[in-house]
Amino acid sequence: MTLSRKIAAALDENTRAYNLPCVVTLDDGPDRINLEITSLDSVGVALDALEYVASDRKEWTPEALNAWGEKLSKSVSYLLEPLKVLEVDGGAGLAQLRSASPTVRGDVRGYYEVRLDRQGICRFERYVVDPGGRGRRRTPCHLTREVVERLADDIAAGSS
């Protein structure tokens, strides 16, 4: 069973059972996914973060992280904001992707951020820039269930 199927099954079975907010953890061989759910219904999910851990590789080189990021930026084309690799820090073993163009709604700008680190962890989050411009804060990602399932599969596929 693929990650997406496991996610679908877990969400279907537990739509009403979860005590929100909660973290749903699913394993698929060497892969693990944590969904930090803040809200859930039959159509969509609000996630504080989606974290994927690929434990089949000891250390990710900066080149491997960059390749993973590039694959993600190509395959994850169904979000309203396409992703792009912004920074790769070889020393710290980190790669960062963000929405190519943040979405502006009124005074508020929002964007996705994906961090890949040398331990093979991918963290997907959403941020908004405060209207005053002083700083940014994390906000839940509102995604349909299908998008969450597909996203998990694409992140896993990119890591291989």
Partner 1 sequence: MRKIDRDANRFKQIVRGKIKSDLRKYITHGELIGKTGGEFVSIPLPQIEIPEFRYGDKNRGGVGQGPGDVGTPIGRSGEGESGPGAGEAPGQHILEVELTMDDLAQILGEELALPRIEPKGRANIIEEKDKYTGIRQAGPESLRHFKRTYKKALKRQIASSQYNPRDPLVIPIREDKLYRSWNPITSPQFNAVVLYLMDVSGSMTDDQKEIVRTEAFWIDTWLKSQYDGVTTRYIIHDAVAREVDEHTFYHTRESGGTRISSAYNLANKIIEESHSPMDWNIYVLHFSDGDNWGEDNRQCIGLLRDQLLPKCNLFGYGQVESPYGSGEFYRELEEAFEAVPNMALSEIRNKEGIYESIKEFLGRGR
Q: Which residues bind partner 1 (CB under 8 A)?
A: 85-92, 94, 96, 98, 101-102, 109, 111, 127, 129-130, 133-136
Q: Which is nearer to partner 1, 60 or 127 (CB)?
A: 127
DSSP states of 1-35 as a string?
--HHHHHHHHHHHHTTT--SSEEEEEEETTEEEEE
Q: Which is nearer to partner 1, 19 or 132 (CB)?
A: 132
Minimum CB–partner distance for residue 105 and partner 1 (Å):
14
Evaluate whether 32 touches 55 at the Cβ level (below 8 Å). Answer: yes
Nearest CA to 37 among 28, 25, 29?
25
Minimum CB–partner distance for residue 120 and partner 1 (Å):
18
C-alpha span between 72 and 153 (Å, rounded): 11
Evaluate whether 129 touches 116 at the Cβ level (below 8 Å). Answer: no
Minimum CB–partner distance for residue 63 and partner 1 (Å):
12
C-alpha span between 69 and 60 (Å, rounded): 12
Cα 2 to chain centroid, rounded: 17
Q: Which is nearer to partner 1, 98 or 145 (CB)?
A: 98
Minimum CB–partner distance for residue 76 and partner 1 (Å):
18
Q: Which is nearer to partner 1, 30 or 93 (CB)?
A: 93
